[in-house]
Structure 1
Amino acid sequence: MSVVISLTLSANTLFAQNPGRITGKVIDSKTSETLIGATVSLQGTTKGVATDVEGHYALSGVAPGKYTVLIRYIGYQTKSISDIEVKAGAATPLDVTLSQSETTALKEVVIKATYRQESVSSLYAIQKNSVSISDGISSELIRRSPDRSTSDVLKRVSGTTIQDNKFVVVRGLSDRYNTASLDGSPLPSTEPNRKAFSFDIVPSNLIDNIIISKTASPDLAGDFAGGNVQILTKDIPDQNFVSFGIGAGYNTKSTFKDFKSGYRSTSDYFGFDDGSRKLANNFPSTERIVNNQLSKNQEIQSARSLNNDFNIYTNKALPTQSYQLTVGDVKELGAAKNKLGTTVSLTYRNSQNITPNLIQRYDNYDYQSEISKFSTNIGALANFAYSFGKNKITFKNLYNRILDDQFTYRTGPNSSTSSNDNRFYAYDMLEKGLFKSTLEGDHAVGEKSKIKWNLGFSNITNDQPDQRKVNYKQSNPGDPYYATLETLGKENARFFSKLNENIYSGKVDYSLPVNLFKQSTLKLGVNSQYRDRNFNARFIGLIADRSNSTYDIDAILQRPIQTLFSPSVINAGIFDLQEISNLADRYNAHSLTNAGYAMLDSKIGEDVRVVYGLRVEKFDLKLKTQDPNQPEVKLNNTDFLPSVNFTYSLTPKANFRASYYRTLARPEFRELATFAFYDYELLATVQGEPSLKRTLIDNADIRYEFYPAAGQIFSVSAFYKKFQNAIEPIFDDRNSTTTISYFNSKSAYVYGFELEARKALDFINGSMFMKNTTAYANLSVNKSRVTNPDDGIDRLEKTRRLVGQSPYVVNAGITHTELDNKLSINLLFNRLGKRIFLAGGARFSSVYEMPRNVLDAQVGYKVFKNKGEFKLSATDILANNYSFEYELDGKPYIPSGPGNIFRRYNIGSTYSLSFNYTF
């Protein structure tokens, strides 16, 4: 016992003696530009450091206690900050703002402030001095929400919504009009059929901050109109740490309910198919199958090599589980105290979700489905940074893999085929992978010039190793069900696809002060991006051979799906191996984008700031299918993209902003490829259009913003966007199978306004309770119109909204902390107006996704001297239905069948408990 007491006292003594750190950055109070080489010293000691190329500093080896820090920089007023408390083994954050000297007198002027005052003023400066109109969210706010992925986080940003739980919509503009970057290099599209990045890939706890620029400046990529989403992950930590987290979740519609699935391998739990689903290496080529070059024995051998396990396995859906391990390390090297930082993180998440009673009605269909979805997400982040003198090199790497295995059982009539009832089975696995690596350098040249360069590589994979679909029909009530394997169609084929895309990027930015107006900075840059994609798809199926008189084919087709393709049936040669051949289903594509820009950031007088310049982008694209009769698709454009951002500082706490800028949107590879893919969930065929042109957009914005206190804001914005050749999806529903393609609209526009407010409630009364309570809300109201093409189809709608555009978006929330920040409570609300899900055609009006109220909550409590934290989270507490309905001219439209419902389902509420601990 005495040994334990002795060890405990020794540990406490060592902990008490463990020094702390003061870390932060030094910025210009008027521009928020980081100041390189500023001296930060601890008053009364010999400790002192200079800020690095990013304006960061770290005073290490500081004994616990209260201190005063002195900051000096040539041409700026010296600042003294008192009441800085350093705790044992912890890093005390302190960002500092410096103001330029008003006189050239030699006498030093020292500005005095306290720790709390300086923390407030630095946050003001960062909020107020951004170049463009932007909104963002910090890692601190992310930690206080129940959000697990970046897509969840983005829902909280003003004017931003998420579609399909992963694709971003900014200012009502769909994913094609938004772009994203991760750690300074562009993020690729993760989807084979659209321009969209799946933001559920990046776990929220790896994010340092997110900024959405809603207006353009010349140093930003020009291919956006809604928003440019910039995600920064963590590199050099403030201190060494090891953090682990574990969580489990319960869904009211899924957990512990009967979960149906197809074949499952152990490797599925780690995000990888075990290879048993994909085609064998020696599987016959398309040419041999289509040209009947296989003998019957060869067909049988090939059919046997397929995964013919069509069993339906039923288990209880397990709770959602998540795990994370993060390690941060920072070392100071040499007398110069150069810093080497490392952040490594591993994440794992698995969920088993059920969507019961999904109603789907379209044309002659009246279906009801149950969907079981097994999802595994594994991720790794490895960031390395070395800061030496006025230089910094970072090497950031992100890997993420998602495996979604979905089983669908659908029943219901299809009157167009005289079928009384159907029993449809779909076994659908999708594997998505992203590897991204970025090497970046930041170098100070002389006193105030700066060079920043970036090299990036990304690899995207999107594979469907064996999407299997089988439908059983019943002709009349009481008749047996039989598998519709008489002819091969895309509705009953086995689909194999493989997408691989490599992206190489690089850029160089150079900035230097110039003698123009009161203060100006010239920024020049060039960048390049090369994309190379290969896509391959095959539609293969086993079709009943009616010429085989040895067996009762009707009896075989009436077998249950579990034995329909049993070894005895395959070996008997009852099925023919067939393939739907279309050489346009395979394509190779590449594009090269080269850009250069020049911009000036000028302070004109004390209160006026203008950022203006020109960006030039040259884009070359080539896409070629394997069909020799189809010409190569080519795009070749050079675009001049001017922009100007004007800021007038009305008061130290308020700005007025105005902007004009030209941007563009380019068609994606998939939208240009004639590859036709049958989407069994949409009951439609998606096909590209090779004649698409790029879209040019003229944008104008105004905004008033007021910052009443640190972390608080009130802003109102208005915007207008005019589109030339807007790219929109279009429906041809004249036949029984709808085709979704794309077109360039002759005219389109979007306009709207945004309101945002974040305020502590201490204005109600001065109690500590109200001071610790903050309410926030943002509202976005948008209106758009696009003109449908005049292509000879008599469409119900001549004009309509843009697809995916919501007329309004509401986000609101309230946060409260108690017990010296140990207890935190958060309530979050989201609602968006009805938006077009599918554009209408000649027979059917547009389908609208109807509004639903989403209420989330989280309670967090810190334990073990704030090193551990329990979080109880509730997501989608109200569990409103997802409802998609036909509407025409704002009124319900009933095309056929019962009511105007296109699709309706409910995924329930999710409640989760997690624990995180940091050593």
Structure 2
Amino acid sequence: MKSKSLLLLILSVFFFTLKISAQGNGKIIGKIIDQKTSETLIGATVGIDGTTKGAAANVDGRYVLTDVKPGKYTLVIKYIGYQTKSISDVEVKAGQVTTLDIAMASGATTALKEVVVKSTYRQASVASLYATQKNSASISDGISSELIRRAPDRNTSDVLKRVSGTTIQDNKFVIVRGLSDRYNSASLDGAPLPSTEPNRKAFSFDIVPSNLVENIVISKTATPDLQGDFAGGSVQIQTKDIPDQNFVSLNVGVGYNSQSTFKDFQNGYRNASDYFGFDNGTRKLVSNFPTTNQIVNRQLSQTQTIQSINSLNNDFSIYRSNALPTQNYQLTVGNVQEIGANKNRFGTTVSLTYRNSQTTVPDLIQQFDNYDYHSAQYKFSTNIGALANFAYSFGKNKITFKNLYNRTFDDQFTYRTGSNTSDGSYDSRFYANDLLEKSLLKSTLEGEHGLGAKNSKIKWNLGFSNIINDQPDQRKTNYRQGAAGEPFYAQVTGLAKQNARVFSHLNENIYSGKVDYSVPVDLFKQSTLKLGVYSQYRKRDFNARFLGLVINTSNTQYDINTILQRPIQTIFGPNLINNGLYSLDEISNPTDRYDANSWTNAGYAMLDSKFSEKIRVVYGLRVEKFDLKLHTEETDMQQPRAQLNNTDFLPSINFTYALTQRANFRASYYRTLARPEFRELAPFAFYDYELLATLQGEPNLKRTLIDNADLRYEFYPAAGQIFSISAFYKKFQNAIEPKIEDSNSSTTISYFNSKSAYVYGFELEARKTLDFINGGNFFKNTTAYANFSLNRSKVTNPNDGIVRLEKSRPLVGQSPYVINAGLQHNELDNKLSINVLYNRLGKRIFYAGGERFSSVYEQPRNVLDFQIGYKVLKSKGEIKFSASDVLNQKYNFIYELDGKPYIPSGTGYTFKSYLPGANYALSFNYTF
């Protein structure tokens, strides 16, 4: 109901904002900031010289001059305590927006004579960009909406690949400085993003469309106003709210995968609603389905058993077709209105997105231990999303209400053949239908208010998130051959991990709120005091049921051996069910259901002080109180199965020394932490047929404390260009890592707190136009960029009596090096844009080793992407051709020990290996 209400709201706003007002005049829009600190200057005035037209900067520092006739103008900017600025050659074109951000210098004298600093439009734009780049309080990297627009990136996860020191795992999870997703945090529009995954701490960044992102900043060092639960980076995403002008934008795209599109595609049960991201309910358990107790204790009559089995979706047919091209559609509407004599602004940005893809992995190879498997995987994916942002700016105040809804429908069919010799030599035919429905609803209400005449500001935020992860009917069926030449028999004589149907449901609600207050204080040359409080409450409910049909071998009406040889399409035929050949069974464990909640309460105080024109220090303390309780049915529900109660003091200091007007030296120390996720604590055990292992939580995990130190030199040779080199070191106390138990034939993955762990590394980033080669327009319009990181880490495995192959190893997910590089070129007065991008990761641990097996390493692969865009129809339309992963190199995960492939026994050392296929896309965007 929540999602339907949001969609109705979005549609209402869409029809309200569809009316676009055509204007012959133009606008001048921008942001006014302090040249030394990049703090917004609330109330600064902007006027057009020689006219009475003017505007004041709002709480964001943004100003708007509307209804400006085409021509060139001089702007005059004033603010108490700052030098007046005069900017000439500001050109306004009919029906267009001229963007001009302005950096103001504080007054150098107390004399009564006014100081006027003169500048041109280009000089002012360059100066403001310099100020924004140089003046961040912490060591950070980021990417703007303009760079996002020029890259072949559909979503935020693709964008993050371009940020220095950042990589993406599984095409959606962020890894910063070689640290896995569990050591990174994320926020959207100022409110924390929840984990979208049921079995890990990770946010799936592929759900946020890239063209709705205003900017992305990754803070790699901490300040007290940031949440303390990260070590690699804090990813902060801001979506667009008040547009510069009214618009309607329509994007249509199609995609081609080299090994999937128009080729054979197989799937299980399908209905029309799957194309819209919703199961129609036929896969889920009916509301009156028998309870676990009724099934386990055999309390059902035969009639009730047959009725219950028939209420399940027993269509096991395999449907064949040709995979359709990927489809992408997006409609975005922006509307801005000026209200009243004070020209208060109300803005709306609404977007609807749809994506459907059908992809194939024709041969996924798993050759290790006793396994020699070849699998064909077919994934049908639908993604629908909606964004509805509203903002009202009045005087020194701004209120925003931002909403994001995303739903992902991933239905995967797997057909596996091969042998498993752990239980006698045999070949198998394994079928798995695996549907996962995920949804995220996130709403944020935020206010910013300028107070008094000293640029004081109060900012508050209220957030709500709802996460749903449903597995309505994961069904697995295995056929086994006893010996060569013998028939294959369905393994339905008992309920086991390869013959079970999983019905699971996860629902989590998150409520958060925070208040920040900042005020200039008379301390040193210039200081700002910032105080804040924050609170978050999380509540999760999870349950899973493991059901299955078991054949009655004592039934004399049928030849059981003949029935067991039936194909998957008829093995559970209605005639067999209705004649009582199958009974209903359930594997029950009291850990299959858990509920959990946590409270995080925090307060902080920080000072941002300029000791001189060159020295700036941001320092302070954050205190976080964390309480967590997790209950399962294996204990008295009044007594938590897992519990955490910690109060942590997190100091930080960030030092910046301005070596020159274009260069900074930075140093920082800060303490952060990492807390166990609910799933890592829950003792719930789940067999992952793709990993061929059981995942299980550890209730006794502790939180991790991390001490961090960073150094960085950064140089800005020109606006929008950078050269930087960084070094960092992190020491972990009680680092949370996977624990592998593989002494038996069945592997279990759990978690432990390592005795010690550390990581250190270096980062190098450069972005430069090529005009130093030649002064011609071609090189002026070409920008090269590259970032390179070198990382090292070490984890000491637990001393728990188990003799592991590796006493120490790198952190899971940590790449020893990361390379990103690219070329961007614009031509024909920016109508033609070309972008070529390259990425390579050093081999990293995907799956940590245990007693019998060494760690699994994901091997390096070269990734090449490019995009060509051309603007048409008076630049209102744009055609883009994009290609990603054009080299189509194989994903290869192998067991390694001491840098060499490791074969403990059995068939080989390949954990898994497959080709993803190259992707090509053609899209057209038109803005009305």
Partner of 1:526: 533
Letter aligned with residue 920 of structure 2: Y
What TM-score do the two structures reach when normalised by structure 2? 0.97
* 1:735-750 matches, cutoff 5 A: 735-750=744-759
Match of 2:389 among 359, 362, 383: 383
Residue by residue, what CA displacement relative to the aligned partner does 1:243-264 show, whole Å, maximum 9, x if unpaired? Answer: 0100000100100001100011
Letter aligned with residue 150 of structure 1: T
Residue by residue, what CA displacement relative to the aligned partner does 1:135-156 show, whole Å, maximum 9, x if unpaired? Answer: 0011111111111111111111
Match of 2:856 among 847, 857, 861: 847
For 2:569, what is the secondary structure of its paired residue? Answer: helix
Letter aligned with residue 190 of structure 1: T
1:486 CA drift (Å): 1.5
Q: Report whether the alignment pairs 1:488 with 2:506.
A: no
Match of 1:674 among 674, 683, 687: 683
Partner of 2:613: 606
Residue by residue, what CA displacement relative to the aligned partner does 1:161-196 show, whole Å, maximum 9, x if unpaired? Answer: 011111110000001100000000000011111111
Letter aligned with residue 611 of structure 2: I
1:307 CA drift (Å): 0.3
Partner of 1:832: 841
Confirm or deny: 8 A CA contact 2:370 2:907 kept in the other structure: no
Distance in 1 between residues matched to 2:268 and 2:246, nearest whole Å: 45
Partner of 2:257: 251
Match of 2:702 among 690, 693, 697: 693
Letter aligned with residue 477 of structure 2: V
* 1:426-825 matches, cutoff 5 A: 426-447=432-453, 448-628=455-635, 632=640, 633-825=642-834
Partner of 2:192: 186
Partner of 2:227: 221
Confirm or deny: 8 A CA contact 2:367 2:908 kept in the other structure: no
Unmatched runs of 5 consecutive residues or more in structure 2? 1-19
Partner of 1:147: 153
Partner of 1:36: 42
Partner of 2:879: 870
Distance in 2 between residues matched to 1:297 and 1:583, nearest whole Å: 28
Confirm or deny: 8 A CA contact 2:369 2:907 kept in the other structure: no
Q: Report whether the alignment pairs 1:410 with 2:416.
A: yes
Confirm or deny: 8 A CA contact 1:144 1:824 kept in the other structure: yes
Q: Percent same amino acid among aligned pairs?
A: 75
What TM-score do the two structures reach when normalised by structure 1? 0.98
Residue by residue, what CA displacement relative to the aligned partner does 1:430-482 show, whole Å, maximum 9, x if unpaired? Answer: 00000000000000110111100000000000000000000001111111111
Confirm or deny: 8 A CA contact 2:368 2:909 kept in the other structure: no
For 1:121, what is the secondary structure of its paired residue? Answer: helix
1:829 CA drift (Å): 0.3
TM-aligned CA distance change 1:15 to 1:590, over 3 Å:
closer
Partner of 1:917: 926
Distance in 2 between residues matched to 1:627 and 1:295, nearest whole Å: 28
Partner of 1:328: 334
Distance in 2 between residues matched to 1:895 and 1:413, nearest whole Å: 18
For 1:438, what is the secondary structure of its paired residue? Answer: strand
Distance in 2 between residues matched to 1:291 and 1:145, nearest whole Å: 59
Q: Report whether the alignment pairs 1:90 with 2:86.
A: no
Distance in 2 between residues matched to 1:869 and 1:586, nearest whole Å: 51
Partner of 2:124: 118
Partner of 1:203: 209
Confirm or deny: 8 A CA contact 2:817 2:841 kept in the other structure: yes
Letter aligned with residue 168 of structure 1: V
* 1:17-32 matches, cutoff 5 A: 18-32=24-38
Letter aligned with residue 268 of structure 2: G
Distance in 2 between residues matched to 1:917 and 1:74, nearest whole Å: 44
Letter aligned with residue 59 of structure 1: L
Confirm or deny: 8 A CA contact 2:368 2:907 kept in the other structure: no
Unmatched runs of 5 consecutive residues or more in structure 1? 1-13
Residue by residue, what CA displacement relative to the aligned partner does 1:564-602 show, whole Å, maximum 9, x if unpaired? Answer: 111111111111100001011100000000000000000
For 2:422, what is the secondary structure of its paired residue? Answer: helix
1:552 CA drift (Å): 1.0
Distance in 1 between residues matched to 2:732 and 2:136, nearest whole Å: 27
* 1:308-323 matches, cutoff 5 A: 308-323=314-329
Confirm or deny: 8 A CA contact 1:17 1:63 kept in the other structure: no
Partner of 1:232: 238
Residue by residue, what CA displacement relative to the aligned partner does 1:514-551 show, whole Å, maximum 9, x if unpaired? Answer: 11000000000000000000001000000111111111
Partner of 1:266: 272
Letter aligned with residue 926 of structure 2: Y
Q: Report whether the alignment pairs 1:175 with 2:181.
A: yes
Moved over 3 A (4+): 14-17
Confirm or deny: 8 A CA contact 1:15 1:88 kept in the other structure: no
Letter aligned with residue 918 of structure 2: S
Confirm or deny: 8 A CA contact 1:134 1:211 kept in the other structure: yes
Q: Report whether the alignment pairs 1:882 with 2:891.
A: yes
For 2:32, what is the secondary structure of its paired residue? Answer: strand
Letter aligned with residue 408 of structure 1: T
Confirm or deny: 8 A CA contact 1:363 1:736 kept in the other structure: no
Residue by residue, what CA displacement relative to the aligned partner does 1:699-736 show, whole Å, maximum 9, x if unpaired? Answer: 00000000000110000000000000000001100111
Residue by residue, what CA displacement relative to the aligned partner does 1:853-881 show, whole Å, maximum 9, x if unpaired? Answer: 00000000001111110000000010000
1:629 CA drift (Å): 6.1
Confirm or deny: 8 A CA contact 2:888 2:918 kept in the other structure: yes
Letter aligned with residue 853 of structure 1: N
1:628 CA drift (Å): 2.7
Letter aligned with residue 362 of structure 2: P
For 1:424, what is the secondary structure of its paired residue? Answer: strand
When the two chains are superposed, the root-mean-square deviation of aligned CA atoms in Å is 1.1
Distance in 2 between residues matched to 1:267 and 1:654, nearest whole Å: 56
1:491 CA drift (Å): 2.2
Q: Report whether the alignment pairs 1:161 with 2:167.
A: yes
Confirm or deny: 8 A CA contact 1:753 1:780 kept in the other structure: yes
Distance in 2 between residues matched to 1:871 and 1:572, nearest whole Å: 59
TM-aligned CA distance change 1:501 to 1:144, over 3 Å:
same
Distance in 1 between residues matched to 2:907 and 2:491, nearest whole Å: 26
Letter aligned with residue 101 of structure 1: G
1:895 CA drift (Å): 2.1
Letter aligned with residue 259 of structure 1: F
Letter aligned with residue 348 of structure 2: T
Distance in 1 between residues matched to 2:120 and 2:174, nearest whole Å: 41
Partner of 1:4: none
Distance in 2 between residues matched to 1:262 and 1:310, nearest whole Å: 6
* Residue range with higher mean Cα deviation, 174-183 or 568-577: 568-577
Confirm or deny: 8 A CA contact 1:328 1:342 kept in the other structure: yes
Letter aligned with residue 166 of structure 1: K
Distance in 1 between residues matched to 2:305 and 2:209, nearest whole Å: 46
Partner of 1:5: none
